[in-house]
Structure 1
């Protein structure tokens, strides 16, 4: 199944993508409510939607796809060793994967309020090093009897409702400054994350699972039709159920949560290539550039880089005496 959200004039639609059409959920259902009921309920809903009475179809070409989910939270992992090697070469001057990377699938939280539609332009902050990040993301669904906390990999797997493409836009110069404070990233990342074009349910991709449980799907990214990077998602360090399990560790995953795989290797972002090439080759993204991402079994998203948005001036910290008593 493919599940999507779309705009049709002044109306927001939510439902199934069937061939070249979209079909709204019955009874006022939404993607959020379907995720809250889980994958088995979604299958039953599809049977009902396409039952004997038929369903009202609308050509996909006549609507504008929105991000397929409005996530309550977005976690983004860093699970591709090759990506870490390349980026570290640019930041630290040499390729290095710290021992701590192998110990656990680290992630950060990004902004769920700046999610972009699959063809919506990104409006970056003022930056000299705008970058993309090609990722596959899982969307969490409910599992009866589970509250989504302290899962192991086996119990985490059913919480993977489906998958979507994720572009974690990055302003690398802002990010580099933030990371020197040993916290973040924040403003180098939280201005935009593109999701789409739809959610492909987990059962649709079971045939791509290799013998170790990794999704062996091909992912590629092009800038202005030039191939920049490509990789197999199965080159990640942990399979997706282990990412979900780690996210739930002493915490919870909830229906609608999005968990990004982290940037694929072999050119999944410009930052990796800058590190390997010892310079800004290929050049940073510029206004008007078109970034197209394709992941096997999912589909594609295509985004145009819009004009940069200047923010108000940033005050520096006040360096004051620390001998005050009140």
Structure 2
């Protein structure tokens, strides 16, 4: 199995491949994002060369290291992060939690929907996640993300599902951390989420290349991978990735319409059924399990990919709400002016 990763080795950030219990670094200066730009086929070739060289007894900075001796980082620096909402069960529970309304809106079925989140606050497994200022309802979201790589001759625009499938370089686990009280306020303005989401996201522990999953797609392109999440050792949610409303290839194709997907783009599946606290709050009629607190440990696992773990840190003490100014509005006329 080819796992593409980034890690901190004594203060130096390296990229390379994880095989067994060893981390095999690329040549100094070469990054995971360089592999994405090279494409999957070239990456697989480089992985064979890198592992063979490492097995040949290389020394110094090119020598493989025990995975336990390095600190895994987020496996790439994303170019952009689009997060879909592709699980019907999650939408149903969240609509009760946030809007107090039953059922799933008809618009959800018409086409996949996504929002853009912050690529600059992505964390890796093992990192501490501080609670953002003003948040009293910290939550997690259990997801899988597809990572885009280069396909020779393609600009990544207006792709068919078949073409989009070839743009998927690999898959990783995604935790879309959420400040539910901030999110709820923002979305009443019919825009967002913004500060309810942009403070943190976790990707990891590595990218498993797409070829490893080719024989696991069903006839419609879905991947039946088991997903689960635990808080402080207690399982909170469990689902199958194949319960998405659309396979990943269709999500990538939709994102590319009248736009582009490029190497380094990350596309999240959205939260799986029972994959976050807020969905359970909607179904339970109370905040059980309770919002995350400092010291809580969140572990997500996905079959065929691995496990990510994060601990909740301290809350930043600050006030971030700034009220709009109350100012007299100038009179204005609306519509076309005759003779204008």
TM-score, length-normalised on structure 1? 0.97
- The answer to whether the 8 Å contact 1:247/1:253 transfers is yes
Say which of 226, 229, 236 aligns to 2:237. Answer: 229
Deviates more, 1:202-211 or 1:242-251: 202-211
Match of 1:210 among 214, 218, 238: 218
- Name the residue aligned to 1:105: 112
User: Cα 1:80–1:313, aligned 2, differ >3 Å: closer, same or farther?
Assistant: closer
* 1:160 corresponds to which of 168, 177, 184: 168
Residue 7 of structure 1 is matched in structure 2 by: 8
Q: Which residue among 68, 72, 82 is the counterpart of 2:79?
A: 72
How far apart are the structure 1 equivalents of 2:246 and 2:121?
Answer: 27
Aligned length: 324
TM-score by length of 2: 0.93
1:227-266 paired onto structure 2 within 5 Å: 227-265=235-273
Q: Is the 8 A contact 1:140 1:161 kept in 2?
A: yes
Question: Is the alpha carbon distance of 1:49 and 1:89 closer, same or farther for their aligned partners in structure 2, counting shifts above 3 Å?
Answer: same
Q: How far 1:324 sits from its partner (Å)?
A: 6.6
Deviations 1:101-123 (A, max 9, x none): 01111000000110011110111
Out of 287, 290, 312, the residue aligned to residue 283 of structure 1 is 290
Counterpart position of 1:50: 51
2:336 aligns with: none
Please say if residues 277 and 291 of structure 2, whose CA atoms lie closer than 8 Å, have aligned partners that are also in contact. Answer: yes
CA contact (8 A) 2:222 2:247 kept: yes
Contact persistence 1:122–1:303 (CA under 8 A):
yes
Residue of structure 1 in register with 2:335 after alignment: none
1:36 to 2:37 alignment? yes
Contact 1:124 1:192 in 2 (8 A): no
- Whether 2:248 is the aligned partner of 1:272: answer no
Distance 1:38 1:68 in 2: 16
Structure 2: how far apart are the matches of 1:129 and 1:316? 22
Indicate the SS of the match to 2:182: helix
> Using a 3 Å threshold, how does the CA distance of structure 1 residues 264 and 313 change in structure 2: closer, same or farther?
closer
Partner SS, residue 120 of structure 2? helix
Following the alignment from structure 2 to structure 1, what is the Cα–Cα distance between the partners of residues 123 and 141? 14
Tell whether 2:90 aligns with 1:83: yes
Residue 271 of structure 1: how far off its partner (Å): 0.7
Structure 1 unmatched runs, 5+: none
> Are the equivalent residues in 2 in contact too, given 1:223–1:289 (CA < 8 A)?
yes
- Mapped to 2, the partners of 1:22 and 1:270 lie a distance apart of 35
Is the aligned partner of 1:187 residue 2:160? Answer: no
